[in-house]
Amino acid sequence: MKKCCLRVSLTFSALFLLAGVCHATTVQRLALEDLIKRAHRIVVGKVNNARTYWSADRKLILTGYTIAIDENIKGQGPSTIEVTTVGGKIGAIELYVSGMPLFQKGEDAVVFVEQSGAYQTVVGLGQGKFTVANGEATNNVTDLSFPDGRPGTVLKMSLQNLKTRIRSALTQ
């Protein structure tokens, strides 16, 4: 009986050690054209609010970000949208998922949105969220790893160029 408990303890110890070492989430590499195809809605807007809460089964911490939409590039809908990510902090418990897009209140962003079950999420994690600052749009792929082992390439371009490329792809 003691041997079994020791194995379980060692297994959990190994998992906790590995969890501390792993810093990337493996995800399918998506080109801009792939993001456009997979998104049911692409919006330009400003992050107004965030709310962090437990999932219905209380196994995950989720954060819903409310974005006031300035422009719909693909798809239509209400003037605000709530995008849900996995992660956040409730009390002393914090869940962080590498590669999950983070939003800041007041931030301007272009977001590629897909329906995932009951939630609207960002396509391709950090690949599908572009922060807009000083007229430039940039995504963040530093915490992502890809099946081919190559690092991610940050997409950075003027907001106008990004919108033009999206619109052009939508007409093809």
Per-residue H/E/C for 38-96 = HCCEEEEEEEEEEEEEECCCCCCEEEEEEEEEEEEEECCCCCEEEEEEECEEECCEEEC
| Residue 3 is assigned to a structural domain of this protein | no
- Tell me if 15 is assigned to some domain: no
Report the number of distinct structural domains present in the chain. Answer: 1
In a domain, 77, yes or no: yes
The pLDDT tens digits for 57-106 are 999 999 999 999 999 999 999 999 999 999 999 999 999 999 999 999 99
Helix (H) / strand (E) containing 121: strand 119-122
- Quote the CA–CA distance of 2 and 61 in Å, as a whole number: 35
Report if residue 79 sits inside a domain. yes
Which one-letter DSSP state was computed for residue 1? -
With respect to residue 125, please indicate whether it lies within any of the assigned structural domains. yes
CATH code for the domain in which residue 109 is found = 2.40.50
What pTM was computed for the model? 0.84
The verdict on residue 163 lying in a domain is yes
pLDDT tens for each residue of 103-142: 999 999 999 999 999 999 999 999 999 999 999 999 999 8
The answer to whether residue 14 is domain-embedded is no
Please give the residue range of the domain that contains residue 119.
22-171
Residue 12 lies in a domain: no
- 3-class DSSP state of 25: strand
